[in-house]
C-alpha cells in the first residue's frame, strides 16, 4: 500500500513508526513539503529512508508566499536534488486561509505558474492543493501553462463538472479517510476512474467518524481500502493492487 500524500516531516519518532507501518504493509509514502525548510527536512528523511519515501518539495498554498530569496534557494535545491525528488508539492491555491493571507489570489496564481513551470522544466509531476472554486482555476492554469504536466489533485472537493474535466484530462485524484464517513467524498470517489484513483491520509491531519481520537497515520489506508472494496463490491486485494499501481504510475517512475 502507498499513502499518496502525507506530511511526514511533521511526525516524530519516525524510525519506530516507519518500521511499524512497513510491517503492516505500507510500502511507500509520498511525503510532501510546505516551504523551503520543510523541503530540506523531507529530503533529509529521503536520505534516511530512501526506499520508503517519494519526496515532494513545494510551498503549501494556505501559507504566506515565500520570500524571493527563499524561492530562489528552493529552485537551486530542486535543481541540485532533482534525482531524489519525486514531485513538486504541495502547491496550489489558497482557499481556507485566503482571508488571512497577505497576498491576493492573483499573486498566488502567478506563483503557481512559476511552480508548475519549474515542475515541467525538471520533468516532475505535481501534487496539488486545489479545492472548491479554486480547483477550476488550478485546472485551467495547468491546461494553459503546462498541458503535458502529470498532476495529482489531492483531497479534491470540486463541482461535478470540474471533477469530470480533471479526470477526463487524465489527472490523478485522491481520497482521504473522510471517504469512509462523509457523503461528499463518497460521491467524489464514485466519479474517479479506477486507473486514476489514489489513496492518501494527508497525515497528521486528524479525521472524524471511525478515526475520531486516533492519530492519523498511513495505517488508515487499509481502512479506506476495506471500506471502498465493500462499497464497490470488489476485493480489498484488487483495490490494494490497483491503487498501488496508480501511485506507481503517478510518482514511482522516479526515485
Ligand atoms: Zn497536504
- Answer whether 131's CB lies under 8 Å from 157's CB: yes
**pLDDT of 21 over the 70 cut:** yes
* Burial degree of 139 (CB within 10 A; 0-12, 13-18, 19+): buried
Distance 169 CA to ligand 1 centre (A): 22
Domain boundaries, the chain: 2-252
Summarised one tens digit per residue, pLDDT across range 163-216 is: 999 999 999 999 999 999 999 999 999 999 999 999 999 999 999 999 999 999
Distance 8 CA to ligand 1 centre (A): 10
How many residues belong to the chain? 255
Summarised one tens digit per residue, pLDDT across range 83-132 is: 999 999 999 999 999 999 999 999 999 999 999 999 999 999 999 999 99
Distance 200 CA to ligand 1 centre (A): 9
* pLDDT for position 136: 98
Distance 226 CA to ligand 1 centre (A): 23
Per DSSP, 63 falls in state S
- Answer whether 176's CB lies under 8 Å from 185's CB: yes
Phi/psi of residue 7, nearest 5 degrees: -95, 75
Distance 6 CA to ligand 1 centre (A): 6
The candidate with the shortest Cα–Cα distance to 54, out of 21, 30, 89, 77, is: 30
Q: pLDDT category, 239, cuts 50, 70, 90?
A: very high
Q: Which helix (H) or strand (E) holds 3?
A: strand 2-6
CATH superfamily of 2-252: Metal-dependent hydrolases (3.20.20.140)
Distance 72 CA to ligand 1 centre (A): 23
Cell of 80: 541540485
Distance 155 CA to ligand 1 centre (A): 8
User: CA torsion, points 53, 93, 36, 218, in degrees to nearest 10?
Assistant: -20
Residues contributing to the annotated binding site for a divalent metal cation = 5, 7, 90, 129, 154, 202
C-alpha distance from residue 166 to each of 140, 150, 219 (Å): 10, 11, 28
Summarised one tens digit per residue, pLDDT across range 36-74 is: 999 999 999 999 999 999 999 999 999 999 999 999 999
d(CA 53, CA 19): 13
pLDDT average, residue stretch 232-244: 97
Cell of 47: 536520505
Helix (H, G, I), strand (E, B) or coil at 226: helix
**pLDDT of 252 over the 90 cut:** no
Distance 95 CA to ligand 1 centre (A): 13
* pLDDT for position 253: 62
Residues contributing to the annotated binding site = 5, 7, 90, 129, 154, 202
**pLDDT of 26 over the 50 cut:** yes
pLDDT average, residue stretch 70-80: 98
- Answer whether 124's CB lies under 8 Å from 85's CB: yes
* Burial degree of 40 (CB within 10 A; 0-12, 13-18, 19+): middle
pLDDT average, residue stretch 12-34: 98
Phi/psi of residue 198, nearest 5 degrees: -120, 155
Q: Which positions ≥6 away from 9 have C-beta within 8 Å? A: 31, 33, 38, 41, 42, 45
**pLDDT of 254 over the 50 cut:** no
Distance 60 CA to ligand 1 centre (A): 8
Amino acid at each position: 500500500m502507498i499513502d499518496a500524500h502525507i506530511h511526514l516531516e511533521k511526525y516524530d519518532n519516525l524510525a519506530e513508526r516507519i518500521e511499524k507501518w512497513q510491517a503492516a504493509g505500507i510500502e511507500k509514502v509520498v511525503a510532501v513539503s510546505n516551504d523551503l525548510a520543510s523541503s530540506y527536512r523531507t529530503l533529509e528523511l529521503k536520505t534516511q529512508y530512501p526506499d520508503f519515501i517519494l519526496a515532494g518539495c513545494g510551498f503549501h498554498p494556505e501559507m504566506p508566499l515565500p520570500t524571493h530569496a527563499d524561492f530562489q534557494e528552493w529552485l537551486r535545491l530542486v535543481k541540485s536534488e532533482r534525482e531524489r525528488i519525486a514531485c513538486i508539492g504541495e502547491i496550489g491555491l489558497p482557499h481556507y486561509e485566503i482571508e488571512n493571507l497577505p497576498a491576493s489570489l492573483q499573486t498566488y496564481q502567478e506563483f503557481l505558474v512559476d511552480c508548475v513551470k519549474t515542475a515541467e522544466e525538471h520533468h516532475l509531476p505535481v501534487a496539488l492543493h486545489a479545492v472548491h472554486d479554486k480547483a477550476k482555476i488550478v485546472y485551467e492554469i495547468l491546461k494553459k501553462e503546462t498541458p503535458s504536466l502529470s498532476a495529482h489533485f489531492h483531497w479534491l472537493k470540486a463541482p461535478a463538472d470540474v471533477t469530470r474535466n480533471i479526470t477526463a484530462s487524465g489527472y490523478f485524484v485522491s481520497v482521504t479517510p473522510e471517504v469512509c464517513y462523509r457523503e461528499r467524498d463518497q460521491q467524489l470517489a464514485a466519479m474517479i476512474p479506477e486507473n486514476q484513483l489514489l489513496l492518501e491520509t494527508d497525515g497528521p491531519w486528524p479525521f472524524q467518524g471511525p478515526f475520531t481520537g486516533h492519530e492519523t497515520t498511513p495505517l488508515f489506508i487499509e481502512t479506506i481500502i476495506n471500506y471502498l472494496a465493500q462499497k464497490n463490491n470488489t476485493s480489498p486485494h484488487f483495490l490494494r493492487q490497483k491503487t498501488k499501481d496508480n501511485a506507481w504510475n503517478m510518482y514511482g517512475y522516479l526515485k
